[in-house]
Structure 1
Amino acid sequence: MTDSGTIVRVAARGDGVTGDGRHVPGAAPGDVLEADGSLRHGPHHAEAPCRHFGKCGGCQLQHLDEETLVGFVTDRVINAARGQEIEPSELLPSHLSPPFSRRRATLHAARVGGRIAIGFREGGSHRIVDMAECHVLDPRLFALVDSLRRMLARLDGRLAVDVDLALTEQGVDVGLKGLTVEGLAATEAMLDFARDNGLARLVLDQGYGPEAMWEPNPVTVSLAGTSVPYPPGAFLQATADGEAALAEAAREWLDGSETVADLFSGLGTFAFALAGPAKVLAAEAARDAHLACKAAAGSSRKPVHSLHRDLFRNPLQVDELNRFAAVLLDPPRAGAKEQVSLIAQSKVPRVVYVSCNPSSWARDAAALVEGGYELAELRPVGQFRWSTHVEMASLFVKKPPAAT
């Protein structure tokens, strides 16, 4: 029998939970909450590698060992399915991105006490943790932090900036939002920063939308080996290995499907991975992403047809869906309730649903099951290492109609 003070699991927000239901921050399974409130560490408690852990909101789970971290990712996904009384026919091993692998991130910078602080925010606060190290960012992104700090320090006045960083085929893309640059000296400082650090692009948003200040060559990202134009701030999977794990699952599950509708397709992450044996319709509402996908399809001559369509206001109808051998969807965190309802009414044999939110996925999965699909395979993916943020890929197969 487990002692009531022993940590038995990790809750969705990262707290350890005792046998009698108490939530304990920073606790791992096997730890023991003593009567005086102290925590006696057990075999699954790890030493956090980063000095900022416990304060920085970028990570919540650095106190867990690898086994428990993988288990957390798996449990978040399978518990979401079971909450809707859905059991996958096969649960595949969870994929967990390694340290130092994040290729995109949004940092925050501000003038604090006469100096520039730059980093992630504290958990549950707007205060910035001034970053001295980071064990999740790709080193090529982190290498810019000191240079950004020095460049911003030379600018006058109050300062509060969002800093978008992304790795592209040409190098690091930097976007600064909320920063006003006036005068020749300030402009030259920005251009010197871009040139001296070999940036792929420097984008400034002064309240009127993003404008490229520095872009020696058109910026692209590689999606399944296809170079795709990368609009400022466009969505990109957080890690290259995470993207590969999701795309490989989709390719395996949809092997043999001659026509695929890729819904909420973005730049074409899955469209280009599936195109070749399959003809792919890539439907996306964001105009810049749609045009980027269209341009890449044309230059690569891949069988991808890019469609500009808002699937929330104008989802594909049942008769449109029935033209495809398979559907793949990767919606925003809110899910795709209306579109899924129509998919559930369709005759599409296979549906791959990629999600970054177990809760909205579970709601939509229940609608598909109600419409005659079964959850054949489920793969949890932890791209945001040491974070409570979890993603997944899932395969739904239409069950044959019952014999009469």
Structure 2
Amino acid sequence: MSDPGLIVRVAARGDGVTLDGRFAPLAAPGDRLRADGTVEPGPHHQLPPCRHFPECGGCQLQHLDDETYAGFVRGRIASALEGQGMPLPEFAPVHLSPPRTRRRASLSAQRAGKRVLLGFKQERSHRIEDMRECHILCPELFALVEPLRGLLGILLPDKRTATVKMALADQGADLLIEGIAADTLAGIEALTAFAELHRLARLSLDDGMGPQTRWEPELVTVTLGGASVPLPHDAFLQATEDGEAALLGAVRQGVGDARIVADLFAGIGTFALNLPGKVYAAEASRDAVLALKAAGRGTFVEHRDLYRRPLTTAELDRFEAVALDPPRAGAEVQAQQLAASTVPRIAYVSCNPASFARDAKLLVAGGYTLERITPVGQFRWSTHVELAGHFTRK
């Protein structure tokens, strides 16, 4: 006889779900929900490695072992496709980024008297979990957390908040602090001393009027496809290098040996600079367009908002393959144009299984076949899921 309290899956927001449909926070498949509401751990329930779990909003699933976490990533994608009434394609093995490899993050800060709280916000709350350890940030970025408390203690007024955006560039850590100003001699000296001591690649402030660079000994770049690309302030980077490599491998497989390729929502060139043949890249961010042009790799770059002005079917028909990596909202209007095109191959990268499934349904209705999906969990232990889908037109 089946046990109705047995946890059989993990829902999209991270709660365990019992056989009879009840939800249990912090439960893994194989656990059992007792009558008193407590959870009896099962074979896939691991001891969370971080002292801040589950309060810290940076992770939701540290209680799952890797096998179960990979199943969650795959399951999110499969459920989204099934919700659109689509048959499931071949799935590649799930790629999980290792702990302590996140190369970009956004931390919240608050001054409370002599204390400065710094870390991720607590789950479903505006309260800041004061970070004392972290199992997702790369060591180079985590090493700056404690020193940043000291800097913010000088610059941040009492009861005020700020945001610290961190990224790892070729030259080291790139920091953008939003919500503070340094217009006194002491503040300016503190910024310079901090940047020098910690050998930052760049230190910038945004007091509400846009980012202002305060320290950048040499041009900050990231290497993409062997090219040094200038890194704009707060530019989008894939969360981990190995996650980027997994998505890139899937995109390359998706476009095959196409001689002329379009990269839509190209950003600073994560895929465009790694694709074969002649590449056209469309991107709405002016700073990203300028950075991609500066890479000097012969890519034809157009400053184009694909939500307002998607490539038309006639424009798309010139390409042998299309790669696209839209924001979380997906690319519904662009997918409609693609569905009516004759493009033989499409590689679609997504950070939202729901919008991907919606767009995939449009493409399949237009005559494409969804051949393969590569699931990627580069936001380790979070409910955030990424994927690359490969479509072909027969």
Whether the TM-score (by the shorter chain) exceeds 0.5 is yes
Q: Is 1:40 paired with 2:40? A: yes
Please state how far the C-alpha of 1:169 moved relative to its aligned partner. Answer: 0.2
Q: Is residue 212 of structure 2 the alignment partner of residue 217 of structure 1? A: no
Amino acid at match of 1:92: A
d(CA) in 2 for partners of 1:207, 1:39: 46
Distance, in Å, in 1 between the alignment partners of 2:101 and 2:156 is 34
Among 328, 338, 341, the residue aligned to 1:343 = 338
Tell me which amino acid in the other structure corresponds to 2:341. Answer: S
Q: For residues 10 and 341 of structure 2, what CA distance do their matches in structure 1 show?
A: 39
**Same amino acid, percent of matched pairs:** 58
Say what the alpha-carbon RMSD is for the aligned residues.
1.0
Provide, for residues 34-58 of structure 1, a one-character-per-residue CA deviation record: whole Å limited to 9, x for no partner. 1122211110000000000010001
Offset from partner CA, 1:212-231 (integer Å, 9 cap, x none): 00000000001122211000
The CA distance in 2 between the partners of 1:335 and 1:326, in whole Å, is 19
Residues 1:333 and 2:328 are matched in the alignment: yes
C-alpha distance in 2, partners of 1:396/1:62? 33
Match for residue 365 of structure 1 among 356, 360, 363: 360
What does the per-residue CA deviation read over 1:130-162, in whole Å, with 9 as the maximum and x for residues that have no partner? Answer: 000000000100000011001111236233110
**Equivalence for 1:150:** 150
State the partner residue of 1:402: none
Write the distance in 2 (CA, Å) between the matches of 1:21 and 1:114.
47
Matches within 5 A, 1:5-404: 5-155=5-155, 157-158=157-158, 159-274=160-275, 277-296=276-295, 298=296, 302-399=297-394
- 1:360 maps to a residue whose letter is S
CA distance in 2 between partners of 1:283 and 1:38 (Å): 52
Aligned residues between the structures? 393
SS at match of 2:121: coil
The secondary structure found in structure 2 opposite 1:162 is strand
Say if 1:89 and 1:359 are closer, same or farther in 2 by CA, change over 3 A.
closer
CA distance in 1, matches of 2:29, 2:155: 48
Distance 2:337 2:156 in 1: 54
State how far apart, in whole Å, the 2-side matches of 1:136 and 1:397 are. 36
Q: Which amino acid aligns with 1:292?
A: A
Separation (CA, whole Å) in 2 of partners of 1:113 and 1:209? 28
Alpha-carbon displacement from aligned partner over 1:88-116 (angstroms, at most 9, x marks no partner): 44211111100001000000111124300
Q: 1: CA distance between counterparts of 2:95 and 2:131?
A: 27
**Conservation of the 8 A alpha-carbon contact between 1:88 and 1:378:** no
Report the residue type matching 1:118 in the other structure. L
CA distance in 2, matches of 1:145, 1:256: 45
> Secondary structure of the residue that 2:271 maps to in structure 1?
helix
Q: Cα–Cα, structure 1 residues 217 and 378, in superposed 2: closer, same or farther, change >3 Å?
A: same
- Is contact 2:136-2:380 (8 Å) kept? yes
Q: CA deviation at 1:233?
A: 0.2
Distance in 2 of aligned mates of 1:39 and 1:377: 37
Aligned partners of 2:111 and 2:156 also within 8 Å: no
Whole-Å separation in 1 of the counterparts to 2:330 and 2:90: 23
Structure 1 distance, partners of 2:182, 2:265, is: 35
User: Cα distance, 1:33 vs. partner?
Assistant: 1.0
Q: Distance in 2 between matches of 1:230 and 1:154?
A: 28
Structure 2: distance between partners of 1:378 and 1:239 = 19
Amino acid at match of 2:27: A
Contact 1:86 / 1:375 at 8 angstroms: preserved in 2?
no
Counterpart-to-counterpart distance in 2, 1:313 and 1:216 = 38
Q: CA deviation at 1:235?
A: 0.4
Provide the secondary structure at the position in 2 that maps to 1:49: coil
Partner Cα distance (2:112, 2:131) in 1: 13
Task: Give unmatched runs, 5+ long, in structure 1.
Answer: 400-404
| Distance of 2:293 and 2:154 partners within structure 1 | 41
8 Å contact kept, 1:59–1:387: yes
Taking the aligned partners of 2:272 and 2:111, their CA distance within structure 1 comes to 43
Q: Name the SS of the counterpart of 1:269 in structure 2.
A: coil
SS in 2 for 1:71: helix
The separation in 1 between residues aligned to 2:48 and 2:21, in whole angstroms, is 25
Residues 199-248 of structure 1, C-alpha deviation per residue, up to 9 Å, x if partnerless?
Answer: 00001101110010000000000112221100010000000000000001
SS at the partner of 1:367? helix
Distance 1:188 1:43 in 2: 54
Partner amino acid, structure 2, of 1:74: R
- Name the stretch that deviates more: 196-205 or 112-121: 112-121
TM, length-normalised to structure 2: 0.98
Q: Provide the rounded CA distance (Å) in 1 between the counterparts of 2:4 and 2:89.
A: 34
Separation in structure 2 between the aligned mates of residue 89 and residue 57 of structure 1, nearest angstrom: 33
What is the letter of the counterpart of residue 29 of structure 1?
Answer: P
Letter in 2 for 1:135: H
